[in-house]
Chain A
Amino acid sequence: MAKRLFTTVHEGWLKLLFASFAVEDRSFGERLYDFSEIVYRHLRFIESVYVKKKIEYSYERPAIELSFTTEGEAALFCEEALGRIASQLSPSGDPLAARLIGDLEYIRRDLAARSSIEAKVTAFDKSLKLPGKSLDKSSLDALVMFLFEESYKEYELIIVYSYAQTTVDDKRLTEIFQILIDESKYHLKSFARMMDQLGILAVPRMVTQEIYRFDSLKEFLLNGIEEEMGAKEQCRALAEGVKDEELSAFFDFINRQEDYHIALMKEALQRID
């Protein structure tokens, strides 16, 4: 039961998150994004209870296919996902259960009211066109590959850092992991919005236990630094390779942000040494 609730909330978060990237009406998109953040917090609230009570849970989950064709269907897709969470909760006097039930009731009502919106969703039409840009084939291929690789990587980092947070007591380490989670969320949002415009939006594959669980925090941080260096290199190569000034500047900006991530991870390493 515990494992299933955690997985269902995880799926609910991702469904809202990716629906928020897919809809064209940006005020609706941002509202969905805020709702997805609430559900992510639910996931973390539940996780901290499980860790405290030593209840087993997993970040592994089934594949999620985004199949809606209108914004109304997107709202329903999310409403159904939240309905599956609600069906596993019952009012028990527990403040966390009451919070979850209250949030879900409000969000589901809001989503159900939008179920008749007929605006088309083009996030999965594989148009491979970025508005106002005309990229040559090699730039476009490099961009598409980068977005698939890095959207998975950013999702993986959110999961890995979320799990890592549960393994440390040190206040500064918890803070460092939180900064890294927030930064990865911004990167994921930026990449996924671009995938939406190209018509190739997809929920990344699941992150397996073998990847997000670790035996040694030190080794985890050392590998993390290496991965951040790899991400920097990918960004640098793309900024150079893509023949568009605006896109190059964006990937340089992401690349420079990775420098601070590396500094934070080195600080974390020093704290545990």
Chain B
Amino acid sequence: MQESELYDTTMDHMMNPRNYGKIEDADAVGIGKNPQNGEMVIIYLVLKEGRVEDIRFQAKACMTTIIAGSIFTETIKGATIEEARELTDLMLEKLEGMPPEEAACSELVAEAFFAALEHFEARAEDPTAPVPTRMITGTCAIEKEEEE
């Protein structure tokens, strides 16, 4: 993808984030949280026959997290749970090479997704299982700039 095309795509996700919102009767919900600044992402999942039939996210976070959530949910929607898990692992692997403050926003989304999968598994045993929260360790770049 050329730089101008990438810029255009990013802008598009900023203007119209995909899958933003709540699913009232979701099969699973997960929270990713940054304990350093309180930023968080909530993922809602509807899973049918081993596939991610619907996915939405909400965020109390910066714009970069919104872009990450928009692209992530658009990619994951329709995938099998296994494919979705592999894609998320791959994303986290790619983030390993990045400075923590740049990786934090995407990590927040990935951890929220893993938390939602944990919730799905826990609910199979106990339908009243609480919504899990997974913490991340990095600080997002915007927050870091403000601190400096």
**Smallest Cβ distance from B109 to chain A, in angstroms?**
15
Alpha-carbon distance between A202 and B62 when the two chains are bound, in angstroms: 16
Question: Does A200 belong to the interface (CB within 8 Å)?
Answer: yes
**Which of B8, B11, B16 interacts with A63 by CB under 8 Å?**
B16
Residues of chain B with a CB closer than 8 A to A237's CB: 145-146
Question: Does B30 belong to the interface (CB within 8 Å)?
Answer: no
Could you name 6 residue pairs across A and B whose Cβ atoms are closer than 8 Å?
Answer: A60-B21, A60-B22, A148-B14, A149-B62, A230-B146, A234-B146
**Smallest Cβ distance from A103 to chain B, in angstroms?**
29
**Which of A62, A201, A230 interacts with B21 by CB under 8 Å?**
A62
Interface residue ranges of B24-38 to A (CB < 8 Å):
none
Contact B22 A63 (CB under 8 A): no
Residues of chain A with a CB closer than 8 A to B16's CB: 63, 65, 202
Q: Which residue of chain A has its CB nearest to the CB of B38?
A: A223
Residues of chain B with a CB closer than 8 A to A211's CB: 60
**Which of B58, B60, B63, B145 interacts with A148 by CB under 8 Å?**
B63
Beta-carbon contacts of B1-20 to A below 8 Å, as 1s and 0s? 00000001001001111001
Interface residue ranges of A207-239 to B (CB < 8 Å):
208, 210-211, 230, 233-234, 237
Question: Does A84 belong to the interface (CB within 8 Å)?
Answer: no
Alpha-carbon distance between A234 and B62 when the two chains are bound, in angstroms: 12
Q: Which residue of chain B has its CB nearest to the CB of A237?
A: B145
Alpha-carbon distance between A206 and B17 when the two chains are bound, in angstroms: 11
**Smallest Cβ distance from A231 to chain B, in angstroms?**
11
**Which of B11, B20, B60, B66 interacts with A200 by CB under 8 Å?**
B11
Contact A205 B17 (CB under 8 A): yes
Beta-carbon contacts of B88-127 to A below 8 Å, as 1s and 0s? 0000000000000000000000000000000000000000
Contact B15 A124 (CB under 8 A): yes
Residues of chain A with a CB closer than 8 A to B58's CB: 208, 210
**Smallest Cβ distance from B21 to chain A, in angstroms?**
7
